Structure 1
Amino acid sequence: MASGWLRGVSAISYGGDYNPEQWPEETWPEDIELMRQAGVNLVSVGVFSWALIEPRPGEYDFGWMDRLFALLHDAGIRISLGTPTASPPAWFFHEHPEARVVTRDGTVLGFGSRGMASPSSAAYREASTSIARVLARRYGDHPALAVWHVHNEYGAPVSECYSEESTRAFRRWLQDRHGSLDALNHAWGTAFWGQRYGEWDHVSAPAVSASVVNPAQRLDFARFSSDALLQCFIAERDAIRAECPDIPITTNFMAGTCPSVDLWKWADEVDIVANDHYLVAADPRSHVGLALSADLTRSIARGRPWILMEHSTSGVNWQPRNLAKRSGELARNALTHLGRGADAVMFFQWKASRSGAEKFHSAMLPHAGTGSRIWSEVCALGDGLGRLGELLGAEVRADVAVLWDWESFWAQDLEWRPSEDLSHRERIDTFYDRLWRDGLTVDFAHPESDLSAYRLVVAPASYLLTDVAAGNLRRYVESGGTLVVSYFSAIVDGNDAVHAGGYVAPLRDVLGLTVEEFLPLRAGGTVRLTAGLTGDVWSDDVALEGAEVIVAFEDGPGAGKPAITRNVLGDGSAYYLATRLGVDELAVVLRQAYDDAGIVPADGAPEVEIIRRHGDDADYLIAVNHGNRPVDLPAGGTDLLTGEAGDSLKLDAGGARVVRVTTKET
């Protein structure tokens, strides 16, 4: 595995996807000159170029790419070389129609899009590995090559395939996981509805059926599908590494927006974590979702620097309403990612396409050209990032961890849950927004990971909680940690079976209570709580077993019962929330948890985002003002973007600063 950061890079990397095959070759030198003007020093190439590189099976044309490499190298621009395997050529599907994706309802997907090959197809695996190997032999020792970018956005737009070949691969995966049919039958609870299997050949992928399909089978298929995609990446990675062992290899994740891939597993297989993020235009607080994505990406990277492989300069083209970014938003977005650990800031794409499905997607060089506001902001951002090289490798530290487990999310999102209003993502977003408003930097963590570094751990949605994870949380609290658990957590084990002993059984002693019954509310229903709070969607029938009541239900199906509790265990404490609280209500509840954890929330302007990165010789404050009023920053120093220095710096409305602070924190 290659170590460190991008070879030969000592500055923040800046650039985007460059697809010169869409343009006449005589325009390439002009593009590259404009890149130099914009401060671009890294571009991704070749991501969708399979049909040009290999126009017929085994026949290669590298002339155009050789010339492109030479032009970029002469201009001092480094290359992120993509393997083009997210979009196999038409000839591949003509020769291998069995490699097409089959959806859960039996539809066979056709050619003309991207990401439409079955990850379990042997023919696809062979062809994709072959083109990766050929590219590595051709360009592996080129001095412009900085990083390998395998495939593109695994899991999008298709993550699951229900073809015959996928079904056979699923059976093999199940044999490896469970070992025997008896173990499989036990794990899946096939005694219910008479589903017991007597032969491996009778086990199928969980295609659409007459009613709800076995949820444990669905959960295992989600695990299998993530693993199948991962094996595709590993095959390409290993083919490249055999020819080119010294250049780091990555692929672009979609942390927080692609729910079908377990990135905790994937992170161990890449040399550098990379991520794509796009604002949700319908969300008026989309900058908070951006921060969540960046924190999640840094957490997946285990705190190491990561690459923002794609984001947009303005609007995208694939959402129902694609809002343009406001003046200054491009820089605010980019610097938020930088503040939360990204040492490379990239866009899709360099130059707006005139044709194809993404012709209305914004770009660094927009259709409006170099006289546009976007171009001016792109150049200004490039100039600013060029001043920030000393931030490379500086780390982000967090006192709070939010539990995040893709397997739990897969299980919770299946059919026939106690209420259709249950949403793991809504709970995580709401808790994160509260923590964001309180000025707290957040890591995300798997429930079985080491939590000892955090003062506070929040479990907004841990529906599936293994005994190992429960033991980990118990040790965390006993050792002095503060834990906050929201409703519908610790309900099932790793096979989606209700825990022996009932709901929340593995955390019973940690929380000092049990949940006897779910009491979901009718659509639009609310419940009044003591302390002037209001909940909605959900309530639990909680029976105390040592916990103290902080807030009780005043009305609703749980009237008089505990709504929020606190339990002391060892040197720590654990809180339980038995109803859904909004962002404002959570402020009241978390205040006591903060006190237990020794955390002081920020009391500054609510729309000002302040993140700190810690270097060997200096600390840096990255401040982004999403509000409409100027504010004073909490620390003095030197703004690396402007050179302004002082003990007190003002942050303009809509502005951003990167300050080398005067006093380094220890």
Structure 2
Amino acid sequence: MVSAVRQWSGPGLAFGGDYNPEQWPEEVWAEDLRLMAEAGVTLVSVGIFSWALLEPEPDRFEGAWLDRVLDGLHGAGVGVCLATATASPPPWFTERWPEARPVGADGVRTVFGSRQTYCPSSPAYRERAALLVERVAERWGDHPALRLWHVNNEIGCHNSRCYCDVSAAAFRRWLAERYGSVEALNEAWSTRFWSQGYTSFAQVQVPARSTTFPNPTQVLDFDRFSSDELLALHVAEKEVLRRTTPDVPVTTNFMVHSNTRDMDYGRWAREQDVVSNDHYVLTTPPNPTTDPRAELAFAADWTRGLAGGEPWLLMEHSTSAVNWQPVNVAKLPGQLQLDSLSHVARGSDGACFFQWRASAGGAEKWHSALVPHAGTDSKVWREVVELGGALQRIAEVRGSRVEADVAFLLDYEAWWAVEPPAGLPTPSRELRYLDTALALHRLLRERHVTADVLTVGAEGERLAETLAGYRVVVVPALHLVSDATAAAVAAAAGAGAQVLITHFSGILDPAGRVRLGGHPGAFRDLLGVRVEEFAPLLPGEVTALDDGSRGRVWSELGRAAAGTEVLASFTDGLAAGSPALTRRPAGAGAAWYLATALEDEGLQALLDRLLAAGGVRPVVAGAPRGVDLVRRRSAEGSWLFVLNHGGTAATVPASGLDLLTGREADGSLEVAPRGCAVLRERG
């Protein structure tokens, strides 16, 4: 859960984005303020990559330019999310401390010339960053424009794993604290295999390039350590800010995305006053889904889960094309607002972008912005102004929460274990941690059913209590799981939930060791299923089930215990005759097990059974496919978001006042192609 309920101050919903006036001559700044007023901008992030300007030489601090920027924004009524500017050290830093540059797994040390060129464990970086944060906080901590502190920027985006000697020493200290003794480390790492027994922590190295497979638990612990080291950067800066400005909330922008896995945001969420996220639509390969907007919805629901169900803040997304995909697809008319309101529907109290004005030079000059290269006589600017007006008209939704009867339970450590680095063996490289979760979430969304996406690390000891409130709980590929988490899942079924556990779950304990006695290990008794052998499928191979459905990627040789209902069995291959889908009563609920990756038709049938058993109803019954429906509610009322992703008009059975148009809907609402409505519902 988040560390406290501290919302950023300011009117209505946040609208704006990264503002980098230092890229432009000062005569442009006045035009920026005029255009911000025209668009209805309420919040901008300032100073993210300005360390080299704020401190052009060690201990020479230059802040007059930022004084003028903040004063101008305050005078224009625009709030500021002020960055600590620590995201990219300036040239003088790496010149003076060249050893602070990160080292890759291949042993190559990076050179200066990009961003985030620092080792997260570097004492020099940590010291200089803390000094900069202290100066920024002392100078601008009481500025009237300040609404929120922005620590660093996308921490770990490009330097999440460092293999230098400093990191190795920090890793050894982390291990000593975690295990207490080298004997406990040897036990956890199974070091009797391959003669790896250590006699002191000093012998332990980072799992960089080696002769063959590294120790898998060593790799897992290095993932844990690396995430913790990055989180420590945020915590250190937050502590400096707290001393100077105890009442100003602090955030750092997450990158909750289906292809970002290096940071355990479940643990990070506990250290945020406001959970914020950067999200960009994945439109070209390689990406984890064939439906980019379904992935957007999943990421937004996941961010809300990290925020403990509280409102969060969309810190960055794009007005149109990004600059880092193989082909950077521009957004169609209407998609700018549709994407923005999709995040707001799913809990964000605003919609901010990278960046305010498109850069004329630099590495991101082809990235879209609120003010594009073409200026204000452009499709993008007209849609920006339209969105600003829309957010003003729906400002009353701020602070409300999203309703959901279904929960997904994810875990970053399980993700690391399911998809280890290329140098480690796995039963199948075709197994991808989020594939089943994304497919099930997409099909739920098509059924107009909203789901919370929860994370084990964010819930901590409250997991059992949290899960008990849901009618359906989906546990996809929870491969590595603690006894406490397994007990919380079982408790959810006992309390009345329909719990679906999918293949490759419950296999490993937190040390990465196989739970013996038959799979699915930690969930074997709850499910009443015992698997004796995995039977992964080749790429493109299909396995048939006796209910007519088909599976891919995975099958299992096993059997069901007495009292477990077999709903479908495999009909071919090694797993022929083994259970593919089962159900077992558990207290007031039931535990279901899916032993393959079903194709859509089979998943749809399974979801229908689960939702019916759990008594889960759609947000609105009878709505057409292609329309996203989400309800936010507070003590003051409820708001129905209707988002038409289709290419034709859609009619939805709904009533209320559409805040976007001012029109009343009395039982029926028509929404244009790629159009939106936000209904203040009656009663």
Q: Distance in 1 between matches of 2:329 and 2:504?
A: 35
What SS does the corresponding residue of 1:606 show, helix, strand or coil?
Answer: coil
Report Cα offsets for 1:354-386 as digits up to 9, x if no partner. 001100000000001110000000000001111
Shift of 1:502: 3.0
Q: 1:367 aligns with which of 354, 359, 373?
A: 373
Q: Distance in 1 between matches of 2:632 and 2:308?
A: 15
What SS does the corresponding residue of 2:486 show, helix, strand or coil?
Answer: helix
* Unmatched tracts of structure 1, length 5 or more: none
Shift of 1:563: 1.2
What SS does the corresponding residue of 1:56 show, helix, strand or coil?
Answer: coil
Is this contact kept in 1: 2:281–2:292, CA < 8 A?
yes
| Structure 1 counterpart of 2:677 | 657
Q: 1:347 aligns with which of 332, 339, 353?
A: 353
Amino acid at match of 1:456: V
Report Cα offsets for 1:290-348 as digits up to 9, x if no partner. 11111001100001111100000000000111100000000000001001111121000
| Structure 2 counterpart of 1:138 | 139
Is this contact kept in 1: 2:543–2:552, CA < 8 A?
yes
| Structure 2 counterpart of 1:267 | 269
Q: 1:595 aligns with which of 612, 630, 634?
A: 612
Q: 2:519 aligns with which of 492, 503, 509?
A: 503
* Unmatched tracts of structure 2, length 5 or more: none
Is this contact kept in 1: 2:134–2:240, CA < 8 A?
yes
Amino acid at match of 1:523: P
Q: Distance in 2 between matches of 1:191 and 1:428?
A: 36
What SS does the corresponding residue of 1:169 show, helix, strand or coil?
Answer: helix
| Structure 1 counterpart of 2:310 | 304
Q: Distance in 1 between matches of 2:577 and 2:265?
A: 42
| Structure 2 counterpart of 1:573 | 590
| Structure 2 counterpart of 1:483 | 499
Q: Distance in 2 between matches of 1:213 and 1:527?
A: 33
Q: Distance in 2 between matches of 1:284 and 1:405?
A: 23
| Structure 2 counterpart of 1:291 | 297
What SS does the corresponding residue of 2:554 show, helix, strand or coil?
Answer: strand
Is this contact kept in 1: 2:622–2:652, CA < 8 A?
no
Q: 2:442 aligns with which of 400, 415, 433?
A: 433
Instruction: Work out whether 1:215 is the aligned partner of 2:216.
Output: yes
> Within 5 A, what are the aligned runs for 1:350-499?
350-414=356-420, 415-447=424-456, 449=463, 450-499=466-515
| Structure 1 counterpart of 2:561 | 545
Instruction: Work out whether 1:276 is the aligned partner of 2:295.
Output: no
Shift of 1:650: 1.4
Report Cα offsets for 1:554-593 as digits up to 9, x if no partner. 2222122211111112221111111111233201122222
Q: Distance in 2 between matches of 1:61 and 1:278?
A: 34
Distance 1:235 1:4, change over 3 A: closer
Shift of 1:3: 4.6
> Within 5 A, what are the aligned runs for 1:102-121?
102-121=103-122
Shift of 1:649: 2.0
Q: Distance in 2 between matches of 1:425 and 1:228?
A: 25
Moved more, 178-187 or 630-639: 630-639
Q: Distance in 1 between matches of 2:539 and 2:13?
A: 49
Distance 1:572 1:86, change over 3 A: same
Amino acid at match of 1:542: G
| Structure 2 counterpart of 1:124 | 125
Amino acid at match of 2:263: V
Q: Distance in 1 between matches of 2:341 and 2:303?
A: 15
* Percent identity of paired positions between Structure 1 and Structure 2: 45
Q: Distance in 1 between matches of 2:497 and 2:556?
A: 25
Q: Distance in 2 between matches of 1:594 and 1:634?
A: 21
Is this contact kept in 2: 1:310–1:348, CA < 8 A?
yes
TM-score (norm 2): 0.95
Is this contact kept in 1: 2:623–2:651, CA < 8 A?
no
Instruction: Work out whether 1:560 is the aligned partner of 2:577.
Output: yes
Amino acid at match of 1:336: S
Amino acid at match of 1:643: G
Shift of 1:466: 1.2
What SS does the corresponding residue of 1:315 show, helix, strand or coil?
Answer: coil
What SS does the corresponding residue of 1:186 show, helix, strand or coil?
Answer: helix
Shift of 1:185: 0.3
Q: Distance in 1 between matches of 2:390 and 2:540?
A: 48
Q: Distance in 1 between matches of 2:67 and 2:497?
A: 56
Instruction: Work out whether 1:236 is the aligned partner of 2:237.
Output: yes
| Structure 2 counterpart of 1:87 | 88
Shift of 1:246: 1.1
Shift of 1:2: 7.2
Instruction: Work out whether 1:611 is the aligned partner of 2:630.
Output: yes
What SS does the corresponding residue of 1:361 show, helix, strand or coil?
Answer: coil
Amino acid at match of 2:613: D
Amino acid at match of 1:514: R
Is this contact kept in 2: 1:434–1:584, CA < 8 A?
no
Aligned-pair Cα RMSD in Å:
1.2
Shift of 1:284: 5.0
Is this contact kept in 2: 1:308–1:345, CA < 8 A?
yes
Shift of 1:599: 1.5
Distance 1:484 1:2, change over 3 A: closer
Distance 1:3 1:303, change over 3 A: closer
